[in-house]
Amino acid sequence: MKELDLRDKKILFQLDLNSRISYSELAKKLNTSKEVVNYRINRLKERKYITQFYTLINPGKFGFVAFKLYLNFQNINEEIYTSMLNYLEEHKMVFWLASTNGVFEMMIGTWARNHYDFNYNFLAGFLNKFSKYISEKETSITLDNYQINRKWFLPKTTERKITDTGGKLENTPLDKIDYKILNIIANNSRKAYTEIAKETNTTLQIVKYRIKRLEKEGVIMHYKLGVDPKMYGREFVKTIISLKDITEERENQLINYCLELKPTLNVVRCIGPWDLEIEMEIENMEKYNKVMADIREKFLDIIKSYKTAIIIAEPKVTFIPYLDV
């Protein structure tokens, strides 16, 4: 982060805590002016240190579960691979798509209401089209996805925001206006209330009320910052961990320990071939290996094994499922 000074890092840290924060509020926190904050944010965007302002939405609040698919390939060329990417990017159930190196070559996240929905409305069609190019596939179901703000922006700061997009499924009622608002801010959390009102053909007061209600109900969990870790000299690494002799207490201790590590972005509890996934944005693989050796030593009694994948690119990231309302 050679081009970034301390004020830039403070702005990034605050935006990752709340990317919808107003210019005036952010200026107050940094003891500067709105004009300086506005200039700095625009410069960070121009230099690609900020790629997105997004809203973390909890689909479990309206009955959706994350099903993930992990793939390795055979007999695949660039044309077929591109065709597969295009198919997945356009599929309404896919919310996350990653090209990776390591234990898997591709990871796919989908929102589905149940295993039937996942299988018949996504998996069957995908395999019918591309199964002959797949040498290996695994599936997991997310129980909890604990996400934390980026501590490495300001390593000495202790301020934390942890959210869990998972847990018990609910059926929070959403109407067309709610869904339109969520669709607008899902991939642009800094969208002005006035612009949202115009796009939803409502009033400023209605938009403010609806967003506050969705926050209170836990549908809107967090306004976050999207970045490319490579711009900061970091690798985006996913670790999948198989556990043994698990107790709830020790599993929670492991999750909490991992969340407090500086590079950790999120920790996922899941059902599948493994039990936990940890995502880190870390300086290099040497440091990653040291971090993982430390984790394994501290939790040797419950960690059976782990495998690693480096995330090269994320062609699709969105945090709202498709709803027919």
| 3-state helix/strand/coil string of the chain | CCCCCHHHHHHHHHHHHCCCCCHHHHHHHHCCCHHHHHHHHHHHHHCCCCCEEEEEECHHHHCCEEEEEEEEECCCCHHHHHHHHHHHHHCCCEEEEEEEEECCCEEEEEEECCHHHHHHHHHHHHHHHHHHHEEEEEEEEEEEEEEECCHHHCCCCCCCCEEECCCCCCCCCCCHHHHHHHHHHHCCCCCCHHHHHHHHCCCHHHHHHHHHHHHHCCCEEEEEEECCHHHHCCEEEEEEEEECCCCHHHHHHHHHHHHHCCCEEEEEEEECCCCEEEEEEECCHHHHHHHHHHHHHHCCCCEEEEEEEEEEEEEEECCCCCCCC
- Domain residue limits, the chain: 1-50, 60-149+228-317
Give the torsion through C-alpha atoms of 256, 262, 266, 270, to 10 deg. -50
pLDDT number for residue 245? 96
Is 323's pLDDT higher than 90?
Answer: no
Is 281's pLDDT higher than 70?
Answer: yes
- 233-239 average pLDDT score: 97
- Shortest CA distance to 266 belongs to which of 93, 106, 96? 96
Length of the chain: 325
Give the torsion through C-alpha atoms of 18, 20, 22, 28, to 10 deg. 10
Looking at domain 1-50, its CATH class is mainly alpha
pLDDT number for residue 2? 61
pLDDT, mean over the chain: 95
Dist. CA 281–CA 233, nearest whole Å: 9
> In this predicted model, what pLDDT tens digit does every residue of 206-221 receive, in sequence order?
999 999 999 999 999 9
What region, left, alpha or beta, does residue 109 occupy, with left being phi > 0 and alpha being psi -120 to 50 degrees? beta
- Shortest CA distance to 152 belongs to which of 5, 312, 283? 283
pLDDT number for residue 293? 97
pLDDT number for residue 165? 87
> In this predicted model, what pLDDT tens digit does every residue of 133-186 receive, in sequence order?
999 999 999 999 999 999 999 999 889 999 998 888 888 889 999 999 999 999
Q: Which residues of 94-124 are buried (b: 16+ CB within 10 A; e: fewer)?
A: bbbbbbbeebbbbbbbbbbeeeebbeeebbe
pLDDT band with cut points at 50, 70 and 90 for residue 325 = low
> In this predicted model, what pLDDT tens digit does every residue of 104-117 receive, in sequence order?
999 999 999 999 99
* Fold of the domain built from segment(s) 60-149+228-317: Alpha-Beta Plaits (3.30.70)
Domains 1-50 and 60-149+228-317 fall in the same CATH topology: no
pLDDT above 90 covers what percent of the chain? Answer: 92
Lowest mean pLDDT among 161-165, 288-292, 320-324: 320-324
- 82-105 average pLDDT score: 97
pLDDT number for residue 168? 85
pLDDT number for residue 319? 80
Q: Amino acid identity of 109?
A: G
Is 130's pLDDT higher than 90?
Answer: yes
- pTM for this model (two decimals): 0.93
